[in-house]
Amino acid sequence: MKKDLLKLIDLTEGDILHILDTADRLKAEQKAGQRHNFPAGKTLAMIFSKNSTRTRVSFETGIFQLGGQGIFLSNADSQLGRGEPIQDTARVLSRYCDCIMIRTYEQDEVEQLAKHASIPVINGLTDFEHPCQVLADLMTVREHKKKLRGLKVCYIGDGNNMANSIIAGALLCGMDVSVATPDDYRPHQTILDFAARQTGVTFELTNKPAQAAKGADVIFTDVWASMGMEGEAEARMKAFQGYQVNDDIMAQANPGCMIQHCLPAHRGEEITEKVFEAHADEIFDEAENRLHVQKAIMYLLMGGQ
């Protein structure tokens, strides 16, 4: 039976740790100059309805390093841009390729693609979740802190796909989570319902960033207006005043608190230049780990153990 990676709330702690352990191994092999020998000859179709630097380069480089090849498909390069139903694209690509990665807007589009594809489908980003990014975040936190369970994660900013995925991934891994968003920009209700069902961990949602940051081991933030929301930028700039990660916020956190940012970062908006640069090594470790985590996901979905 084929497996997909559509959203983190579908996974267990064991699933996540298996991906992270595999990513650690593939990263170590890569750093040691060892060649991976799986999945040699496999082809990854990469559908991009939303542009990206890190997602495209890391997936395309990753499948190449695994011995396969990637095919880039924007809306202009496929029949999706001319209105072909997603189920027909799923069935065609399933005849040619071995795995599909899609980066788009609606979560339902990814779910429908997976429903009709006979090959694995990876969610490269939707407006609901960004699972590959948060798996790379968890890998980076574990590298720096040597554990996940028992740490406190704080997210400050828009209750968007990043917030949804951080809540899901961190709670599943036994981490306490606090989130600070303006009242009109809360995480998705499905995620809040998921958080309410978790046991043995704490979850806090507040509109007070300093309160959320208190005792944090890791602080996450993201841009105030994500791709596709440019028309709301002015309103969001007003709504998110006070939600900047700065020295005052960092003073509330535990000593040695990490910063994670999925990039691109807007210095002077959601994070100050000083805080960003003080934690740049952690942030760019996080960016690099997109490569290793996505290689692990492709490896496991295409039959690796």
Task: Assess contact for 219 and 245: CB atoms under 8 A.
Answer: yes
> Annotated active-site positions, please?
103, 130, 133, 222, 262, 290
Whether the model clears a pTM of 0.75, i.e. scores above it, the answer is yes
Confidence at residue 217, expressed as pLDDT on a 0 to 100 scale: 98
| Predicted pLDDT of residue 80 | 77
Which of 96, 40, 44 has its CA nearest to residue 70?
Answer: 44
CA–CA gap between residue 79 and residue 61 (Å, rounded) = 25
Closest Cα partner for 238 from 184, 159, 275, 178? 184
The pLDDT of residue 246 is above 90: yes
What residues are paired with 203 via a beta bridge?
Answer: 177
pLDDT band at 157 (very low <50, low <70, confident <90, very high): very high
- The token pair at 199 is 């046991």
pLDDT, tens digit, 9 for 90 and up, residues 63-116: 999 999 999 998 877 777 777 889 999 999 999 999 999 999 999 999 999 999
Residue 207 has pLDDT above 90, yes or no: yes
Give yes or no for a contact between 203 and 180, defined as CB atoms under 8 angstroms apart.
no
Cis peptide bond upstream of 131, omega within 30 = no
Q: What is the pLDDT of residue 82?
A: 73
Please report the pLDDT score of residue 212 as a whole number: 98
Residues 47-62, mean pLDDT to the nearest whole number: 94
